[in-house]
Amino acid sequence: MFVLLHQGGWDEFLYFSVPVVLGFFGLRYAEKQAKAKAEAQAAEAAGEAGETPLPTGEDA
């Protein structure tokens, strides 16, 4: 089995970049989920208040 540590610096680059990239995509996913949840709650609140939501291109 070969050693992957200290092979010219590329492994240290991966140790830094992989968590940064995973964090970036994790935050994007969480933001997307939060936005969808907020839109669903707003639509539900509009329906309970007797207001009709504005039609979108899909509804028209």
Measured between alpha carbons, how far apart are the two ends of the chain, in Å?
A: 63
What is the rounded average pLDDT of the residues 39-43?
89
Distance CA 5, CA 53 (A): 58
- Domain assignment of residue 14, given as a range: 10-39
Number of domains in the chain: 1
Structure pTM?
A: 0.57
In a domain, 30, yes or no: yes
Mean residue pLDDT of the chain comes to: 81
Instruction: Name the percent of the chain in helix, strand, coil, to the closest 5.
Output: 65, 0, 35
Could you tell me which residue, 23 or 11, shows the higher pLDDT?
23
Closest alpha carbon to 43 in 24, 25, 56: 56
Q: How confident is the model at residue 43 (pLDDT cuts 50, 70, 90)?
A: confident
Distance CA 5, CA 23 (A): 23
* Cβ–Cβ under 8 Å, residues 53 and 43: yes
In a domain, 18, yes or no: yes
